[in-house]
Structure 1
Amino acid sequence: MKILVIGSGGREHTLCWAFNKSRRVEKIFCANGNQGIAETAECVDILPDDIQGLKIFAAQNHIDLTFVGSENPLALGIVDEFGKHGIKIIGSSQTASQLESSKSFAKDFMSRYNIPTAKYETANSVDEAVNILESGIFGDKNATVVVKADGLAAGKGVIIAENRREAKKAINELAQTVGEAAAQKIVLEECLIGDEVSVLLFADGKNFALMPPCRDHKRIGEGDTGTNTGGMGTISDAALLSEQQLKQITKTIIEPTLTGAAFEGFPFAGILFLGLMLTKDG
């Protein structure tokens, strides 16, 4: 098999390393890759957001399977485009990918299907976000509030503001931090306290298979301090979630998500990421 992996980070490096272990794989390409990836795959000078360029490359090189590692190509519709031309690819459709690429889309979706999520409000401008804060819906001026850029921000679009003053500062600096496109909408959330855990799964639109739970360490400093990054490493341990917790997550989050997506006309096929906070209330 000829494999094309799309992306240039640690995730794609791991994917290329894993594919390289398979006897069925004869050649691995990575667009656009990096120096580490070049040790196990042939790096291709095509950017992950060049959908047409990637499609042409896959067709001309008779790629048997394309695996999308990064989120941006999914948000740009690469799966839809490859599908039109019969090119096999792993990833979610452009509409389904909004569950990750748009926080407001995901929050509204969860609200429609009674999927547990933190209380939130979505603002379409800086002024509207500040007005929501000052309304007191998230508590008084000393309450902690989570400020999120709506769009993809390489893991840097979430700020946990310790009080209203910090929240206003985060709101005003958000576009500068993550870019205007990602910050066109601003999502404000109540701050949940608990243990953070991630659950990922493979889905075909109806059926799914869980990966082992893991915990992502995003803060740049020691002791979980400092600003968020795209990820400072993860650990995976089955003890992160009990069997009962996994059953609850499946019943209250995974099944409603897959059912709701199918009902709304965008069956989720690909890899679904669930970022969870285990609070004292569930």
Structure 2
Amino acid sequence: MSRIMSRCRPARSLITGASSGIGAEFARVLAARGSDLVLVARREDRLKALAEELVSTHGVDCRTVPWDLSEPASGRRLRDVVPERIDLVVNNAGFAVQGPFTDGDADDFERLVAVDIRAVVDICSAFLPDMIARRDGTIVNVASTTAFQPVPTLAVYAAAKAFVLSFSQSLWYESAQHGVRVFALNPGPTHTEFFDVIGDSATATGTYQTSAQVVATAMRALDTRRSRPHVISGRRNAVQAAMAGIVPTRVLLPVLARILHQPPSIS
């Protein structure tokens, strides 16, 4: 049985979007458990500051990789830069574009799809085969509670996270047969810079938590022997996600639109 299925103590973990928020919290928790780290994000200054903190506090090896995941073949190129064994991959990097779709910028949508979808697939494609070959390893793909329903004003983001959820569930089944774990982590609104950017109205899709609460949910899932295709952080968020699967979409969407202060577009 994979050692990561008892208490999660990966020898080396790679985390994208590690410069702040959920990604930085993953780094702190894993470093406290003794994991060496590869921290990936665009903001090199923040990565270096976090790495210095973790090395000083926990004595782990901490490598920083400034990286733009919106670039083509980002995962494959990242694998070339990080050739060593990786026991745990946390695909956390992502961003959202909020507002009516027709008011959005096509370049922003293209970058969102590149980071939130293409990079997740590419990184899994780059790192999962080695895990399968040695029958050991874990990938956590950070999705969202928006994955469980369409969300007006977050149309592309919600659809991207729905992709991540479905993709991760498929990989969960395929990988479990080889002793490897893949699952989607679905946070609701979280007190991070992410919501400083898109605003508080997105709380229509869940209840606020801290990054520590979200990562604690992920670590409980990693520590248990039971492997699940996805986990939702927060009981109220789980209830809301379940309700979204019951309420007809034609009923749900006008309700979300009103909460998000958007006039309904259907009769």
Q: Please indicate, yes or no, whether the TM-score normalized by the shorter chain is above 0.5.
A: no
Task: Tell me: higher relative CO, structure 1 or 2? Use CA pairs within 8 A at least 6 residues apart.
Answer: 2
Q: TM-score, normalization: structure 1?
A: 0.38
Greater radius of gyration (CA): 1
Q: Whose helix proportion is higher, 1 or 2?
A: 2
Q: TM-score, normalization: structure 2?
A: 0.39
